[in-house]
Structure 1
Amino acid sequence: MSGAPFVVGFDLDMTLVDSRRGIVECMQRVLSARGVTARDEQLWPLIGAPLEANLGGFLPAEQVRGAADDYRAVYLQHAVRLTTALPGAVELVELIHADGGRVLVVSAKAPAAVHAVLEHVGLRPDVVVGAVFAEDKAVPLRAHDARMYVGDHQGDMYAARAASAYAVGVTTGPHDEAMLRKAGADAVVPDLVALGERLNEFERAASTG
């Protein structure tokens, strides 16, 4: 790879890591403490969206800030250790680095939690940005000249489009191919293993698009 390094951005939850169990259990703990019961199937589709917005769907507005603080504390204590790298994630980051590229992680999760999760699963991106969602992710993507952004959520596709980056959806999260395409995905793959196999193809498309 010649010239400036090719920068690939990634979402975190359900894109690079399987964080479903920890997120759902922490949400249930925080909600239960406030007298609210939430089933797994209610919480799973919310993964990837901002925490306060998710809590606001279950709690009165005056309880959301305290619940969010409690969630973040519980998350660091309980959920990080339940999180695993998704198949192909470590290898894909290594492949990008071996090709002279750089890896940027941009997540809606609080920065401390992003760093804790990445450390736990052994992923070593070059840049980490937290606490941004959907089109707001375009700011760090543009700042670091990301040419491609990979995510499992509709908001990730909006971010890529807003940043003029090649949008790659993965169906390891709650959104299927049709939803990701509708949100603007240029390409959709079933997982990061498949993405690794097509990385050069997508890099060429991102460079010529």
Structure 2
Amino acid sequence: MGFDLDLTLADTREGISAVYRALSEETGVPIDTDAVVRRIGPPLEVEIGYWFPPEQVPEMTARYRAVYADIAIPATAVMAGARESLEAVRALGGRVVVVSGKNQLDTERTVRHLDFPVDVVVGGLFGTDKGAALREHRATAYVGDHLGDVDAARAAEITSVGVATGSFDVAALVDYGADVVLPDLRAFPDWLTRRYDGRNPNGHQEGRPDGYSDAVPDVRG
């Protein structure tokens, strides 16, 4: 079972805001951290590009990553229902694969900080680029808060499970075509139990998981 990290499993909003405040103080460049957290998901360079000219993006990206571990990770919290969701996958004999747009090192650090029971961690991928990793690790579904996570599941030809805990609400995720939409991860264990009916969620690499239906997405909330 694949999971996104930021705003799916990990509440990184306060930590990310703190890093951008530090960059603003160092450089004198005003940064609207509320706008930043509303856009969490795409590659870091994209967000940095909203605040700094193109020639400064590599330097500011490197500076952000240099201070992230000390500033952001201690402020990172567990999203509601995240731990229970991971445990539910494990209880069915499944493996947990985290595939994130965050760079590999900070993805690993965040998973360790939150003590998540994870089998595989893959960082530095966004949108359809996540598809290859999901296929490689035989995920049968991918859970995420961003429209890019729906794209990731489509690229891997697996079930997309949207959670409305990031920038996109239930309606937006439904309109984009997520196969399943939940208000947050607190609804995930029940969906997982019904979806797999006690079967191991580890699946084959090609195509939709056994029992997949093209029915209207399961929307709660």
Per the TM superposition, whether the score is higher than 0.5 is yes
Amino acid at match of 2:129: D
Q: Is the 8 A contact 1:90 1:122 kept in 2?
A: no
Q: 1:163 aligns with which of 124, 134, 156?
A: 156
Structure 1 residue aligned with 2:202: none
Q: 2:92 aligns with which of 83, 87, 99?
A: 99
Q: Is the 8 A contact 2:88 2:192 kept in 1?
A: no
Amino acid at match of 2:153: A
Q: Is the 8 A contact 2:20 2:33 kept in 1?
A: no
Structure 1 residue aligned with 2:9: 16
Structure 1 residue aligned with 2:35: 42
Please give the alpha-carbon distance, in whole angstroms, between the structure 2 residues aligned to 1:171 and 1:32: 32
- Structure 1 residue 34: Cα displacement: 2.7
- Structure 1 residue 148: Cα displacement: 0.3
Please give the alpha-carbon distance, in whole angstroms, between the structure 2 residues aligned to 1:203 and 1:54: 38
- Specify the SS of the correspondent of 2:96: strand
Please give the alpha-carbon distance, in whole angstroms, between the structure 1 residues aligned to 2:100 and 2:49: 19
Deviations 1:26-64 (A, max 9, x none): 123224433321223211221111000111111111100
Q: 1:207 aligns with which of 198, 204, 210?
A: 210
Q: Is the 8 A contact 1:161 1:184 kept in 2?
A: no
- Specify the SS of the correspondent of 1:145: coil
Q: Is the 8 A contact 2:141 2:161 kept in 1?
A: yes
Deviations 1:74-124 (A, max 9, x none): 111111010111122112212211211010000000111111111111102
Structure 1 residue aligned with 2:200: none
Structure 1 residue aligned with 2:181: 188
Structure 1 residue aligned with 2:79: 86
* Pair 134,31 (structure 1): closer, same or farther in 2 beyond 3 Å: farther
Identity of aligned residues (%): 42
Structure 2 residue aligned with 1:72: 65
Structure 2 residue aligned with 1:5: none
Structure 2 residue aligned with 1:4: none
Please give the alpha-carbon distance, in whole angstroms, between the structure 2 residues aligned to 1:34 and 1:181: 40
Q: Which moved more, 1:27-36 or 1:156-165?
A: 27-36
Please give the alpha-carbon distance, in whole angstroms, between the structure 1 residues aligned to 2:178 and 2:20: 29
Number of positions where the alignment pairs a residue of Structure 1 with one of Structure 2: 202
Please give the alpha-carbon distance, in whole angstroms, between the structure 1 residues aligned to 2:165 and 2:180: 14
Structure 2 residue aligned with 1:3: none
Does 1:140 pair with 2:133? yes
Please give the alpha-carbon distance, in whole angstroms, between the structure 2 residues aligned to 1:56 and 1:33: 17
RMSD over equivalenced CA pairs, Å: 1.5
- Specify the SS of the correspondent of 1:101: coil
TM-score normalized by structure 1?
Answer: 0.91
Does 1:127 pair with 2:120? yes
Amino acid at match of 1:49: P
Does 1:116 pair with 2:119? no
